[in-house]
Amino acid sequence: MVSEPRQQGTRPVVEVVPSRTFEDLVRDEAPRLFAALRLLSRDRAEAEDLMQEAFLRVWERWDRVGGMDDPVGYLFRTALNLHRKRLRRAGVMLRRAIAPAPPFDAIAEVESRDAVLRALATLTPRQRMSVVLTDLLDYPSAEAAKVMGISASTVRVLASQGRATLRREVHDGEG
């Protein structure tokens, strides 16, 4: 619904006033939207969830949607897009779940472990200990400092130096 133009300076200003409130939209369209989503999803809880999310997205944009010629169409399109998005996600998750896991390769695991041990051997004992505690065992630097008997900042410096050395070793080993 468009109200009468107001004069502001020399240019008329036309205000767009929504013909119905968001609450009217929810009251009037929720049963139809739920029925449609229930038929699509074949699951009552999924339909309710989709409906609520669609209404939320419309409410977030109500300043624009309320002035549209057909806010109901926007609501239904939003709900259907949400349904399609969930189907795509479910398909991706299903493909990942049923994809065959790569076979266990004991030789590759031994080679990887050997490469890690060789790389760690290039570090000083304090660098090695700080890298192992902070990166491999996920200790915070304060906890690693207590274990090593040094300050947390020293642990961070040693770990940083150790990582830099490991990066150089890996880079040099590839070239």
78 compared with 3, residue with greater pLDDT: 78
The total domain count for the chain is: 2
Which of 46, 63, 98 lies at the terminal end of a domain, its last residue?
Answer: 98
Confidence of residue 5 (pLDDT cuts 50, 70, 90): low
Q: Is the pLDDT higher at 102 or at 143? A: 143
Question: Which CATH number goes with the domain that contains 33?
Answer: 1.10.1740
Range of the domain at 52: 6-98
Measured CA to CA, the distance from residue 148 to residue 110 in angstroms comes to 29
Q: Does residue 19 sit within a domain?
A: yes
- What is the phi/psi pair of residue 6, to 5°? -100, 150
The pTM assigned to this predicted structure is 0.47
Asked whether residue 19 falls in the same domain as residue 46, the answer is yes
